[in-house]
Structure 1
Amino acid sequence: MTPRSFRPNYSARLFLAAALTIGIASPVSAQQATGTTLARVLVLGTGGTIAGQASARAGNAYDSGKVSAANLIAAIPGIDKLSQISAEQISSIGSQDMNDNVWFDLVKRIRAAVDNKEVDGVVITHGTDTMEETAFFLQNVLDTDVPIVLVGSMRPSTAIGADGPANLYEAMRVASAPESRGRGVLVVLNDTIHAARWVQKTNTTSVETFRSPDAGPVGYVDTGSLRFLQPAAPARGAKLKLPDAPPLPRVDIIYSHANMDAAEVEDAVKRGAKGIVLAGVGDGNSSKGAIDALAAAAKQGVVVVRSSRVGSGFVNRNVEVEDDKLGFAVSLDLNPQKARVLLELLIANGITEPSAVQQAFAR
């Protein structure tokens, strides 16, 4: 566990009271009596638990996306001293409902802000369930050195010990720091900074849910400073283009299990999947019936990528499965949900030949 001494000791009650009483807040000004020019950070709200409120349902129930990004910011003492902050709402949904339309809107707004030199950093408030997918999507399409930081929380704003205020404060620190430039899209929660390619949600409820099993974090928000573990390096590989409008091509994830037959694969093909990602057992394997169905799908032009349901490790080519013979690609380090995102983008860019797909997964 990393040191928690930096995290401001905000009470959930204070946070909630401020968030609910401020109303529609105007952008928060940082032109306080410092005499210095602070970084300009644009906060884009999408919803999620960080913006959640207690529900009338029994127990610990809550509704996601009820508090605006502007109100979240206004409720955190001292955050306006970190940067010049403006806030806009892109959506107000739980991240289980994240979709292509919101992704395209995020890209459009971020590109405009960067191209017009409006910002020195961007923070996106987001639910944790699909945060890693949104981060990885943005990593593959945004070509900028400006820090793009996703942040969320595991507890809603009404919970005792809400983690959202401290997480958002720390995300703002990362987004406004010069040393964050050129590091690609980052995810910041629980004092820890992760890279978009490696980060995963690994626990249903723990505030330490975000980890990078195969690489480790890229840095920490430590007492009084940011601590990156390695120098910034230019992102490798060309960024992928987006279509003029959503949706992206359909790619289905097929989850492998004991006693599996071909039905799920065949159904995905019938429903018009342009690509299939196998969340395979072990090293991306599956039953003979499922592998045979995937091979048949590949012959029909469906792009097939083998990934693993295990949660860490690499999927290797031509070990138990004859990928060269069957026309499959493998996901390497990418879990099924990230493999799906990349495959959607590749198909949208006309990259469907197995060797070309494999090269893209390796970049």
Structure 2
Amino acid sequence: MKLVFVQTGGTIDKDYPHTTKGWAFEFGEPATKRILEKLDPSFEFEVLTSCQKDSLEITEEDRQNLADLISNHEGDKFIVTHGTDTMSETADYLSKKVGDKLVVITGAVRPERFSNSEAPINLGCAIATANLMDKGIFIAMHGIVKEHSEMKRNLETGKYY
């Protein structure tokens, strides 16, 4: 099995600034690469970047580019790292565009660079889902995996359920 990881940005990939001043975050190398280095996985993988944006800035064009990347890629199983604010919208969009492929969308409330980030657990749940499922659009967050249409979010706590 080969998994294709696709970066779109979001908090999971935010890092401290290297070239700017102030409190702003920047996007850089996908967090997935750092997490997979620690895992030393027993599966083949590829890491691609579709875009590097906060999810509130993701446009219809960005979603179409992501759908095209997935649809036109030879792979069948994709894990998309995405910002939490609009991952459900992207999941809904992809459900109408990518056919019989498996897409698991995940992210993090705190950047992977933070020691208290849940990013490794969320990515691990997404990897497990990719090992168990053949097709569909899923969201993996906070130790829970559900089909995209079944996943809900408590906007007060930020938790998915």
TM-score by length of 2: 0.86
Partner secondary structure for residue 129 of structure 1 = coil
1:1-363 matched pairs, under 5 angstroms: 39-54=1-16, 57=22, 63=25, 65-68=27-30, 71-78=33-40, 80-81=41-42, 83-113=43-73, 118-144=74-100, 146-175=101-130, 177=131, 179-182=132-135, 184-203=136-155, 206=158, 209-211=159-161
Structure in which a larger fraction of residues adopt strand: 2
Give how far 1:41 is off: 0.7
Task: Describe the shift of the 1:88–1:204 C-alpha distance in structure 2 as closer, same or farther (beyond 3 A).
Answer: farther
Give how far 1:107 is off: 1.1
CA distance in 1, matches of 2:156, 2:28: 21
Give how far 1:170 is off: 2.0
Bigger Rg over Cα: 1
CA distance in 1, matches of 2:35, 2:61: 25
Unaligned runs of 5+ in 1: 1-38, 212-363
Confirm or deny: 8 A CA contact 1:64 1:94 kept in the other structure: no
CA distance in 2, matches of 1:88, 1:44: 5
The sequence identity of aligned pairs, in percent, is 22
CA distance in 1, matches of 2:57, 2:149: 21
- The structure whose RCO (Cα within 8 Å, separation 6+) is larger is 2
Unaligned runs of 5+ in 2: none
Confirm or deny: 8 A CA contact 1:41 1:84 kept in the other structure: yes
Partner secondary structure for residue 39 of structure 2 = coil
CA distance in 1, matches of 2:111, 2:77: 25
Partner secondary structure for residue 42 of structure 1 = strand
Give how far 1:140 is off: 1.9
User: What code does the residue aligned with 2:96 have?
Assistant: N
**Aligned residue for 1:324?**
none
Give how far 1:96 is off: 0.8
Give the total of aligned pairs. 158
Partner secondary structure for residue 27 of structure 2 = coil
CA distance in 1, matches of 2:77, 2:149: 19
User: What code does the residue aligned with 2:129 have?
Assistant: V
CA distance in 1, matches of 2:153, 2:126: 17
CA distance in 1, matches of 2:15, 2:111: 6
Superimposed CA distance per residue, residues 123-144 of structure 1 (whole angstroms, 9 cap, x where no aligned partner): 0010001000000111122211
CA distance in 2, matches of 1:65, 1:204: 26
Superimposed CA distance per residue, residues 201-237 of structure 1 (whole angstroms, 9 cap, x where no aligned partner): 323554xx112xxxxxxxxxxxxxxxxxxxxxxxxxx
CA distance in 1, matches of 2:26, 2:107: 11
CA distance in 1, matches of 2:31, 2:61: 19
Over the aligned positions, Cα root-mean-square deviation in angstroms equals: 2.1
